[in-house]
Structure 1
Amino acid sequence: MEFPISIREAQASDLDQIYLIIEKNADSCRIISKEMIEKRIRNHAGTFLLASLEEQVIGFIIGADLTETSSKDSAFDIDFIHSISRVPIIILSLMIHPDYRGQGFGTLLLAALKESSRLTNKSGLYLPCPDEMLSYFEMNAFIEHGFAESENSGDPYFHMHWDNPYYQEEI
């Protein structure tokens, strides 16, 4: 069976559908405000990607370019992230509507962000990963680089990164 899936950049008109997915995932994460999502659509357009099935948004991935993010603007230790890798894009969120989980849509979104990284010559991707998702991201070619606890929530996570094999450092 073939699905008419499309992967595209998020737009302001997608806000309600994105927020529905966030609300459906509220049991496993903190609620992100609509204002925060609007800001991320504006500021991270090239790395805020949606998976849609017949015009219905079924999942999204949000990345942020760390070369454009200061330590003051981020909840993450950017200096540490750069010390384990030259990875400039951090994955802030990956969510799939519960009705569509386990069908490969998260993997498609990760692949699309990896391709975006390749096309824009970014060195790779970084994400803080909870223990229960470790094998999923390892299956998607991310490498674990240590364990930490979030200063904000106290929740433990693993430092994960994926290196872009096509990255060409500027001379």
Structure 2
Amino acid sequence: MIIRTATIDDLAAISAIEAECFPPTEAATENEFRDRLEHYANHFWLMFDDDKLIAFVDGFCTDEPDLTDEMYAKADMHSEEGAWQMIFGVNTLPDYRNQGFAGELIKQAISDARAQGRKGLLLTCKDKLIHYYSKFGFINEGISESVHGNVTWYQMRLTL
């Protein structure tokens, strides 16, 4: 398996995986991914099985201490010098789940954030995934203000 950051050429594959991993009310659109890739392609971690994209993690950097719904749609809020690495999505194709691939991408995002001198990483997740992200050192801060997709989200923070 190969891990690398994204380019605009990865747009179609990223969009296809997102559509397979999230319901339409929660999934980012191809246009949103285009905007994200134009602003922070180097904060997309992609995993390939040969030349097939099988999983990715993405999110921008900011000095804002909490993840907000506005961030999902406004890629221009990215600040390369931002203190916090946000994670907007952790996506793995169904046939590749439960094999540790998403975990490897999360570890890479953590390692890169540490190397870049960030304060830490934040994400939101559904209650059934709190235990999963806790394994990487993320702390549950309770119910997020996010109402993205009309779902209850929990904010998780990993301070480096």
TM-score over 0.5 (shorter chain): yes
**Equivalent residue for 1:60, pick from 51, 56, 59:** 56
Q: Which structure's CA Rg is the greater one?
A: 1
**2:37 is the alignment partner of 1:50:** no
Counterparts of 1:66 and 1:60 in 2: how far apart (Å)?
20
SS at match of 1:74: helix
SS at match of 2:153: strand
Letter in 2 for 1:67: D
Long gaps (5+) in structure 1: 77-85, 165-171
Deviation at 1:124, TM superposition (A): 0.7
Paired residues in the alignment total 149
Cα distance 1:18–1:74, how it changes in 2: closer, same or farther (>3 A)? closer
Counterparts of 1:19 and 1:74 in 2: how far apart (Å)?
18
SS at match of 1:36: helix
Q: Percent identity, aligned pairs only? A: 25
Cα distance 1:46–1:31, how it changes in 2: closer, same or farther (>3 A)? same
**Equivalent residue for 2:93, pick from 87, 91, 97:** 97
Deviation at 1:19, TM superposition (A): 1.7
Q: Could you tell me whether the CA contact under 8 Å between 1:87 and 1:126 is conserved in 2?
A: no
Cα distance 1:6–1:150, how it changes in 2: closer, same or farther (>3 A)? same
TM-score, length basis structure 2:
0.82
Counterparts of 1:56 and 1:66 in 2: how far apart (Å)?
31
Long gaps (5+) in structure 2: 74-81
Deviation at 1:149, TM superposition (A): 4.9
- Cross-structure match for 1:81: none
Deviation at 1:32, TM superposition (A): 1.9
**Equivalent residue for 1:6, pick from 2, 10, 32:** 2
TM-score, length basis structure 1:
0.77
